[in-house]
Structure 1
Amino acid sequence: MTEFGKQLASVDTGIPGLVLWELPVHGDSRGWFKENWQREKMTALGLEDFGPVQNNISFNDAVGTTRGIHAEPWDKWVSVASGRIFGAWVDLREGPTFGKVFTAEIDPSRAIFVPRGVGNAYQTLEADTSYVYLVNDHWSPDATYTFLNLADETAAIDWPIALDQVEISAKDLAHPRLADVTPMEPRKTLVLGANGQLGRALRAEFADASHVEFVSRDELDLASPDLPSVRRWRDYGVVINAGAYTAVDLAETPEGRRDAWAANVTGIAVLSRIATEHGISLVHVSSDYVFDGTRAGEHPEDEAFSPLGVYGQTKAAGDAAVATVPRHYIVRTSWVIGEGKNFVRTMASLAERGVDPKVVDDQFGRLSFTGEIARGIRHLIESGSPFGVYNITGAGEPQSWAGIARRVFELSGHDPERVTGVSTEEYFSTAAGPVAPRPANSVLDLSKIRATGFTPIDAASSLSEYLRA
């Protein structure tokens, strides 16, 4: 019999993401009423805002009707409209809880949230039982399922009614034992801009992950009007945007301004809408250029935007678009060094060729090596860190560009005094084209990323390692 008057509450099942819910049911001699799904109340108590798009009903007229064990590639909210069922859930996802079992009886005063990849099976305990499930993807014949045999000896589910006494379909009887089950992989991860400096580092970081796809700008252009339809976006759990327009000085020209806004804002706004609509976690890489650099101390994540030039303005606008996505990580970094042409390689080359450079000494920051940024991005995704903005750079004492240049000379076996420090104004005084304003202070506060359990590597150590490679 349905229990009336319970408080709305969640119950841990021991299987990550699988949550049993006690539902308030209000009734009298006429019948009963309940809020079967109430987004605001339930998400406030910790339920994932999973965005259901389809409502299905299963009616079972006989006691003992048994269905399962099926693991689908979507999340679902299962509840009972009439009658009573025994439910069994088995984690069929890759990971340490693969094969873990949870069972419970469900009547109208209970519901359960079943995440993607957790196998579920139901046995009716009363005649004329109907259960309802909301799912966050439309059914597709091309969807990939994972199955487990109802009688698997490892799961050892204690069915209320013996399986040889109930109605089961031939397909369900033919499902494999646990030892033969292929675990369901997580939703795919897509890395955009995979041929850039950070993109190449992400390729190396996720080389062991078969569910990660990499595309270059030529293969998927954020500025394309077809962006919403070029992928079946519901198949993706994470999108990492490692691409951007980064020609800081060229952005100050009429053509560069248009290109910068198209790449860093317009395309990002469309991508943000796609991520919101499909429940995707969007990882977006930002820049110290969203600040004017006049702050006396380190820049925290919640500092108000104050960009100086076009590039910084477009990055700030892109950040604002990404911040509207419920599941977002904005990774703010500075002074990026990776494969290919960059400041460190240029200084090392000048040292070898006997050139004594003049280098800016009134801008301060920390180098951010792309391998370190990629490691931080993976940490945020896999640790389940709270969504939001995170600064990721190398650690250690801030340096000027001239100070870093001197250290490059020294590590390369050359006299660091060959580097002459000059002001930003003097350095660009003879520039032939437009020059973007630079923030004088690019030092980012790393306390928030450290609080997630990530330890940034000292930038000086990374520089030494980089030059030895």
Structure 2
Amino acid sequence: MTPLTVTRTPVDGLLVVTLDVRADNRGWFKENWQRAKMTELGVPDFTPVQNNVSFNTAAGATRGIHAEPWDKFVSLARGRIFGAWVDLRPGAGFGTSFTLEMGPETAVFVPRGVGNAFQTLEDETAYSYLVNDHWSLAAKESYTFLNLADETVAIPWPIPLGQAELSDADRAHPRLAEVRPMPARKTLVIGAGGQLGRALTAQWPDATAVTRAELDLADPASVAAFDFAPYGVVVNAAAHTAVDTAESPEGRREAWAVNVTGVAALVRAAREHRSTLVHVSSDYVFDGTVAEHTEDEPLSPLGVYGQTKAAGDALVATLPSHYLLRTSWVIGEGQNFVATMAALADRGVQPSVVADQDGRLTFTSEIARAVDHLLAVGAPSGTYNVSGAGEVTSWADIARMVFNERGRPGSEVISVTAAEYGAGKALAPRPRHSAFVLDKIRATGFEPALVADSLSAYLRSV
């Protein structure tokens, strides 16, 4: 019995899997793809959808080098090959190669964009591979090719290419210096017209950014018609955030349509296209009875908005590749609490501001920076709290900071309770405490900016 093992190679993401092949007087048996065991050892859960077999009549049949727009898992049902792989993705690894002689006892996981080639060493070799997208003529147009005889990579073919069996197409492929690297899958930002969407598009000017007019999460037909296939990362910055309006009959339907039904459709699309879904949530998923919230605190929303966000969180968490960012007191470009307080200070108005709800501001630029960081470092999938750092303050404290920054005395801000402020108004219930514990995202190497520093910088732009 040979233990199942997974070994890394010099090509990033290319993995060699040693299989347990069991033989007796009748032949042999192996588990060629075993999801639970292999993913536990580090093979990506790449969700294959098609199995192909290449039968090669004679030794010397040589195929490749082809980089394809999907992941593949290659192995042999019969015979032996000399396998060769070349990184054809952009970046420092471009042109890195790896070779291996293999039989039925070995498999190789080949990530998207890594060129794959092999040469048969025995007659009647059956080469099998799983892929996680369906082949089509359109998909073939995005292949990247490298000549088998490229002098830079210099693959040491056991049977000289002059004596091997090659196709005319493979003979005509370009040398490495002429190869166009296979680009990474694109990033999609949904809700580009909102405060967070604008911050994300500023962070990633090359991303595809769509507004509600182009992709409306509240409209199932709009989501169904949208082509998610080109996108490896989908960032959902769209949401129904009218907290008070969500308590009305019409607002309740709109909140559920966008924050739940629309998110469910995104989850299905991300799963189908193997995309990483980044979703932004809220402190409103909690009732606020805990002073500072951790990522694993049980959900306990008070109002309709919080209920829809909590339902969306549960849906996103079912994806194998996701980042769920919980935020609080979001401030960005456009109308918001800080901009309103600045305008009141400038006009000499003395506002009444709630003093018995506390938390930390989260600037949209900080959320965008956190998303970029998590994706860049490949942080583990899951939920991360994201907000500004520093002292926990009330809304009234924030208002006084704004007044001071505008040259007005903080004493002009009048502290009131939430009950006093809400008297006679149709307001949704709000959590008493909205601050987050930020240890988990700090452990990834991200240091949240201090609220006071971000607030001063923001006010200089208002």
TM-score range, shorter chain: over 0.9
User: Who is 1:463 aligned against?
Assistant: 455
Q: What CA deviation, in whole Å up to 9, does each residue of 1:172-207 have, x standing for no partner?
A: 112112122111111222111111100000001111
Does residue 1:443 correspond to 2:435, yes or no? Answer: yes
Q: Find the residue that maps to 2:95 and give its secondary structure.
A: coil
The offset of 1:237, in angstroms, is: 1.4
The reply to whether residue 386 of structure 1 matches residue 380 of structure 2 is yes
Flag structure 1 segments of 5+ consecutive residues without an equivalent.
Answer: none
Task: Judge conservation of contact 1:152–1:178 (CA < 8 Å) in 2.
Answer: yes
Query: Is 1:408 matched with 2:402?
Result: yes
Query: What SS does the aligned partner of 2:262 have?
Result: helix
Letter in 1 for 2:281: S
The answer to whether the 8 A contact 2:215-2:223 is kept is no
SS in 2 for 1:130: strand
Pairing of 1:48-447 with structure 2 (within 5 A): 48-143=44-139, 144-207=142-205, 209=206, 212-226=207-221, 229-295=224-290, 297-431=291-425, 434-447=426-439
Instruction: Determine helix, strand or coil for the equivalent of 2:76.
Output: strand
Letter in 2 for 1:257: R
Write the deviation string for residues 90-112 of structure 1: whole angstroms up to 9, x where unpaired.
Answer: 11112221111111011000000
Whole-angstrom distance in 2 between the partners of 1:234 and 1:124: 34
**Cα distance between partner residues in 2 of 1:460 and 1:25:** 62
Amino acid at match of 1:150: L
Normalising by structure 2, we get a TM-score of 0.97
Equivalents in 2 of 1:259, 1:422: separation in Å? 31
Q: How much has 1:228 moved relative to structure 2?
A: 5.8
Distance in 2 between residues matched to 1:42 and 1:413, nearest whole Å: 62
Q: 1:248 to 1:229 in 2, by over 3 A?
A: closer
Show CA shifts across 1:290-309 (max 9, x none): 011111x3100000011111
Alignment RMSD: 1.2
Corresponding letter in the other structure for 1:205 = Q
TM-fit CA distance, 1:28: 2.3
Q: Specify the code of the residue in structure 1 equivalent to 2:428.
A: A
Paired residues of 1:137 and 1:234 also in contact (CA < 8 A): no
Question: Match of 2:153, SS?
Answer: coil
Separation in structure 1 between the aligned mates of residue 422 and residue 452 of structure 2, nearest angstrom: 27
Three-state SS of the structure 1 residue aligned to 2:99 is: strand
The percent of aligned pairs where both chains have the same amino acid is: 64
Aligned to 1:34: 30
Query: The residue matched to 2:261 in structure 1 has which SS?
Result: helix
* 1:226 alignment partner, SS class: helix
Aligned counterparts of 2:438 and 2:239: Cα–Cα separation in 1: 23
Give the residue type in structure 1 aligned to 2:43: L
Secondary structure, in 3 states, of the residue corresponding to 1:57?
strand
- Whether 1:452 aligns to 2:448 is no
Report the AA paired with residue 438 of structure 1. Answer: R
CA distance in 1, matches of 2:145, 2:221: 36
The structural deviation recorded for 1:227 is 5.1
Q: Per-residue deviation at 1:88? A: 0.7
* Per-residue deviation, 1:21: 0.4
Instruction: Give, as a single letter, the amino acid of the residue that structure 1 aligns with 2:429.
Output: P
Preserved CA contact (<8 Å) 1:361 1:421: yes
Deviation at 1:398, TM superposition (A): 1.0
Distance 1:437 1:413, change over 3 A: same
Q: Output the CA distance in 2 between the equivalents of 1:233 and 1:203.
A: 18
SS of structure 1 residue aligned to 2:292 = coil
SS at match of 1:439: coil
- Please tell me the residue identity of whatever aligns with 1:182: R
Between the aligned partners of 2:10 and 2:416, the Cα distance in structure 1 is 61
Q: Which runs of 5+ in 2 are unaligned?
A: none
1:45-101 CA distance string (max 9 Å, x none):
121111111110001112111111100000011000111010111111122211111
